[in-house]
Each structure stands twice: as C-alpha cells, then as structure tokens.
Amino acid sequence: MKHPPMFLRAEFGALPLPKSPAARWGCYGPLVVMLVAFASRLWRLGAIKTLVFDETYYVKDAYGLIKRGYEVQWPKEYDDIFISGHLTLPTEGAFVVHPSVGKWLIGLGIELLGNNPWGWRLAVCLAGSICVFLVGRIVWHLFGNGKMATLASVLMALDGVQIALSRTAILDILLELFILLGVVFLVRDQLSYRPKLLTALLRADETRRTLGLRAKRPDLRLAPHEIAPTQAANLMTSNQPEKVPAAANPARYRSPAVAIPQETKKTWSFSPLPRSFRKSPQETKKAQRKGSLLGPVFWWRPWLFAAGIAWGLATSVKWSGLYVVAVFGIFVFIRELSARWATEPYWISSSVLTGGIPAFLNLVPITAVVYVGSWLGWFLNPNGWGHTGGSVWRDWLEYHRQILNFHTTLVSDHPYKASPWGWLLQLRPTSFYYQKVAGNCGKDQCIQTVTSLGNPLLWWFGALALVVVIMGSLVFLDWRAGLVLAGYFATFGPWMIYSNRTIFTFYTVVISPFVVLAVIYTLGVMMGQWRICSDKNWVGRYNLVPRSFPVNQVQIYLGLFIVALIFLVAVYFFPIWTGMTMPQHQFYWRMWLSSWI
C-alpha cells in the first residue's frame, strides 16, 4: 500500500522518525523516570528487617529453590530462625500453589546479595522499576507521543500499590512485569502485522466485496476507470487534494508500511487501491481457482510469538497469567475480524481459518511450552512434593488438580479480605506491616507501617477515565482504547467470579498499569494530544496515530492540575508506602477513609 487515502491523512499521522525529538522523548523520558523510580524504591529497601506479609512463604520457597531445586517444607514459626541465618535446610518437599518462576527470580537476589532483606527484595525492586518503563513504551507505540509516554511512566512511578509491592518480596509485581512485556510485544505485533495484512487484502480486493463496498462511498472507493465520465468530473470538483498538516511532513514522520508523499498538483485517486494492486480479470480468475477467497495467511508473527513467551512466564509466576493469554487472544481475533470484514465475502471463515488459526499457533503453544518448562526443577528432583515413583506426568497432573482445588475453594477469614467491587476505588487496601518502634516522636508513639494503598487521586480519576475508555472502545471502535479495556478484562474481570474467596486489594498491582493507560488516554484527549481514533471505517488497520488538535487552554491547565495533584498526593502518602518512621497521629491523618485502617 503506497499511501493512505486523503481523508485518513487529515485525521492521522505516521509515527515519528527514530531520531526525532518526539522519538527521543518516547525512549529516554520513560528511561529516566525508571531510574528515578528505581532509586526511590531502592532507598531504605532493607529498613524493615522482618519477613513482611506473604514474604514468609515466598522468600523461604525461593531459598529452598536456590539450594535444593524445589520448594521445601519449613517448620512452623520458623521466621526468626530463618532471618538469623542459623537455619537447617529441610529436604522434604512442600506443596505450593504457585509455579516457581517468580520464586526463582527472588532466589537469584538472595544468591547475589545473601539471605537478608536486600537480597529478598532486589528482584521485585528491579521488576517494579522496569514496569514503569514498559508503560511509557506502550503509550509511545500506541500514540507516538513522547511527552505523554514520559507522563505515563511518571504516573506509574507515583502509584502507591506499585511502590509498596516493589519493596515487598511477593509474586504479584513479577507477574505484572511479564504481563506488561507481553502487551508491549502485542502492540508491536499489531503495528507490524496490520499493514501487511491490509496490503495483502487490497492486492486481492477485486476478488471480494470491492464493488459493493465502493458503492457505499463512491467519493472514496471508486477508481477512475470504474465510474462514468460525468460522475468522475463531479468527484474531481468536490474532492480536490486537501492540504496535509505539517505533522504529516515525511521529513519528520514515517511508518513501516505507509509512506506519505509530498503534495503535488495531480488529482487525488479516488480508490485506496493503487493501480499496481488492482487485478486484471485473468488474475482474478486465477486467484479464485487457487481458493484465495479465504484471504491471505501469515504463519509467522514474531512479535505475537514473543508475547506468548512473556505471558508463558507470567503464567509461570501465577496462574492469573492464563486470563491474560485468553483475553488478549480474543482481542487479536477481534482485530482480525475488523480487518477482514471490510473486504472478505466469507469474513468470519477467513478470520478463523486464515487469521485466527495462525495467530493461535504463534501464541498458545509457546505459552504452554514455557509454562511446562518452568517446572523443570520439580521434574528433575524426585524429592519434590507429589512424586509417587510412578508416571511423572500423572504426578504432575495430579499436583495441578490439587492446586486448582485450592484456588477455587479457599475461603477463610482475614481482616484485610476485600471484595473486588471496591478495588478500583481502593476502598480496602492491605496492611503489610505495622509496628511500634523507638524514636523521637515527642509525646506520641513512633510507628512504621507499609500499606498497599494505591495513589487515591490516580485511582479515583482512573475510575472516571475508564468510562472514557469504554466509550472510545465500544462507541468509536478505537482499538487503542480497546487494548486498555482488554487489560481491565484480563486483570480485573476474572476476580469478579471469585469474589467470595479470600482475596486482597494488593492484587490490583497488575490492574494499575491499565489504570494509568486509561488516565493517559483521557488526559491526552483532554489536553489535545490526540483525538479518539474513530475506527468506524476500520482506519485502525493503518499504522497511523491520531493527530493532536487545538483545545481550550482551560482543558490543558486542568490536565496539568490533575497531574500536579497526583504528584502531591504521592508525596503525602510516600511514608506509609515505604515504612518510614512517623508519629502515630500522622498515620491517622493519612487514613482518609475508615476502611483504610
């Protein structure tokens, strides 16, 4: 495809060149924010010397993996002895309910820095910081706006649930890392695969519904040789080339599949099909004999394959990664439908057979292979829990049956158990640590506390932004909003099924990136950085980004004011996210809702 139709060029621009200022912002901005976030998370990382919350399980499991190759059964009430270092390493295997990749990563930190708080938490600190960078890169690839990509990383760095879990050696931040890595790969897949698919569809367009579709929009669809001279003259009069905005200057902007030419005095071609793409009647019959009515097929999609690897690792941290594979797999299929609907007479069959099956083969098998491979330590160690001496595969499947039974039946009382209905508003955050300590706090008692409370203003504004995302996705068919909405479905939706179980608000650490993306999407529209990408003509199949547009200065100042408030709120709550020593009454100042205590 040589270039997009003029009516698209007026609304969209191609991605900036790699060496342009916008591209530098899109890369170095999130990178600098990541380094600052890493420094803030590394600061006083070992200040709390005890095992915090579920660290009592995962740190000891990680230690057993590093030393034995499998999780071992520790004696009860063993934390103090474990922390002292004067421990006896058991040999009996332990039943665990999560795969081992996350614990292997925690164990690598222990191997590097020793059995101490720094060693326990190094892996999660690095993972949380990398997540800050990945969110910025997702925004860059979606919108081609470097400053908004940097702002996305800033908002990610200012979220309390991200900060707290980047300093606590539990699995959820590692799960988030691999989920986001897969989303980056998925976006790259869409931006590279979509133009290739469209080009292939256009090359075969004459064998499909071209004439019927062009009849709906003769001013845009009909080629000059297909219309009467009088009609052509009328169209030429009413469809002279528009002046391309400066942002479409090809000296500054490029696209892997779309080259936007300089304006000339030639009359615009009324068909999106360049002449080289149109088939002769003989070629059409030949294509039909070859059975091309089911459309083009691409068996190899490297970015989607990479996403499968990342999500396989996510599933190997926690089974929650399976929901991500399922939801984003459906998202990929919907995108396939949207492309083939426009040209295929058998668009559903085409989407399933020549689009869906290759996508499935690129995504799902590698996910399964990575997951099974994560159990290698268990397979190689007969002392691991569940080995009976019989068929190792039968033992492995029985192990999984018992894990599934645990996850679907666990119901117990816990003071910080929280219904998912309140998660998006952070109504019941999880207290990880609360301890009275010695210090100079005047007449008041000094305390240290760590809570998983998300940045309240970010999450509350995010709840409003979710409405904008839903409208952008379902009303305007903006695939970028659809990607964010799919993230909510993958990371939040499944918990509604298990709302009666013992679950906690800190699970929202994997939802947090999509809250940030929803906020950025809304702020971008509010501040005129991009328009909602209306896809009613399936323009999302082009590798283009929505143009900025002029807005009222009040809207820009309002957006900046919201960002400034989020920053100030983060500074205010930072002590209770990082376990800083404070007077007890200052802790209660920060408990805006009674349900936070």
Arithmetic mean of pLDDT, 77-89? 89
Residue 322: closest CA among 184, 136, 459, 510: 510
Distance CA 84, CA 71 (A): 20
In DSSP terms, 14 is beta-bridged to 544
For the ranges 89-98, 216-225, 343-352, 506-515, the maximum mean pLDDT occurs at 506-515
pLDDT > 80? residue 323: yes
- Among 207-216, 392-401, 584-593, which is the least confidently predicted range? 207-216
Residue 363: closest CA among 411, 419, 315, 291: 315
pLDDT digits (tens, 9 = 90+) for 466-490: 999 999 998 888 889 999 999 999 9
Cβ atoms of 73 and 93 within 8 Å: the answer is: yes
What confidence score (pLDDT) does residue 256 get? 38
Arithmetic mean of pLDDT, 438-461? 93
Residue 351 DSSP label: I
pLDDT > 70? residue 322: yes
Burial class (CB in 10 A: 0-12, 13-18, 19+), 18: exposed
Question: What is the average pLDDT value for the chain, to the nearest integer?
Answer: 82
Distance CA 371, CA 365 (A): 10
Cβ atoms of 118 and 45 within 8 Å: the answer is: yes
What confidence score (pLDDT) does residue 351 get? 82
What confidence score (pLDDT) does residue 332 get? 94
Arithmetic mean of pLDDT, 278-302? 62
Cβ atoms of 542 and 411 within 8 Å: the answer is: no
Arithmetic mean of pLDDT, 130-155? 95
What confidence score (pLDDT) does residue 268 get? 27
pLDDT > 50? residue 231: no
What confidence score (pLDDT) does residue 545 get? 60
What confidence score (pLDDT) does residue 509 get? 97
pLDDT > 60? residue 258: no
What confidence score (pLDDT) does residue 544 get? 54
Confidence grade of residue 456 (pLDDT, cut at 50, 70, 90): very high
Confidence grade of residue 548 (pLDDT, cut at 50, 70, 90): low
pLDDT > 50? residue 523: yes
What confidence score (pLDDT) does residue 392 get? 92
Residue 559: closest CA among 521, 519, 526, 514: 526
pLDDT > 90? residue 291: no
Arithmetic mean of pLDDT, 75-96? 90
Q: What is the CA radius of gyration of the chain?
A: 27
For 539, what's the count of Cα atoms within 13 Å in the CB-facing half-sphere? 23
pLDDT > 50? residue 211: no
Residue 174: closest CA among 99, 116, 79: 99
Residue scoring higher pLDDT (248 or 269): 248
Confidence grade of residue 508 (pLDDT, cut at 50, 70, 90): very high
What confidence score (pLDDT) does residue 400 get? 94
Residue 575: closest CA among 561, 588, 562: 588
Region for 482 from its dihedrals, namely left if φ exceeds 0, alpha if ψ lies in -120 to 50, beta otherwise:
alpha
Arithmetic mean of pLDDT, 129-144? 95
What confidence score (pLDDT) does residue 15 get? 63
Distance CA 55, CA 36 (A): 25
What confidence score (pLDDT) does residue 408 get? 83
pLDDT > 90? residue 151: yes
Arithmetic mean of pLDDT, 206-210? 46
| Domain ranges (residues) in the chain | 17-196+301-378+418-596
pLDDT > 60? residue 276: no
pLDDT > 70? residue 573: yes
pLDDT digits (tens, 9 = 90+) for 324-358: 999 999 999 998 888 777 666 677 887 888 889 99
Distance CA 436, CA 404 (A): 39
Residue scoring higher pLDDT (350 or 163): 163
User: What φ, ψ does residue 545 adopt, rounded to 5°?
Assistant: -120, 150
DSSP string, 31-100: HHHHHHHHHHHHTTTTSS-SPPTTHHHHHHHHHHHHHHSS-B-PPTT-HHHHHHT------SB---SS-S
Residue 314: closest CA among 486, 131, 161, 189: 131
- Among 264-268, 271-275, 348-352, which is the least confidently predicted range? 264-268
In degrees, rounded to 5, the angle at the alpha carbon of residue 114 between the alpha carbons of residues 582 and 133 is 65
| Share above pLDDT 90 across residues of the chain, in percent, rounded to a whole number | 56
Through-space distance between the first and last CA atoms of the chain, rounded to whole angstroms: 59
For 576, what's the count of Cα atoms within 13 Å in the CB-facing half-sphere? 25
- Among 15-24, 137-146, 188-197, 349-358, which is the least confidently predicted range? 15-24
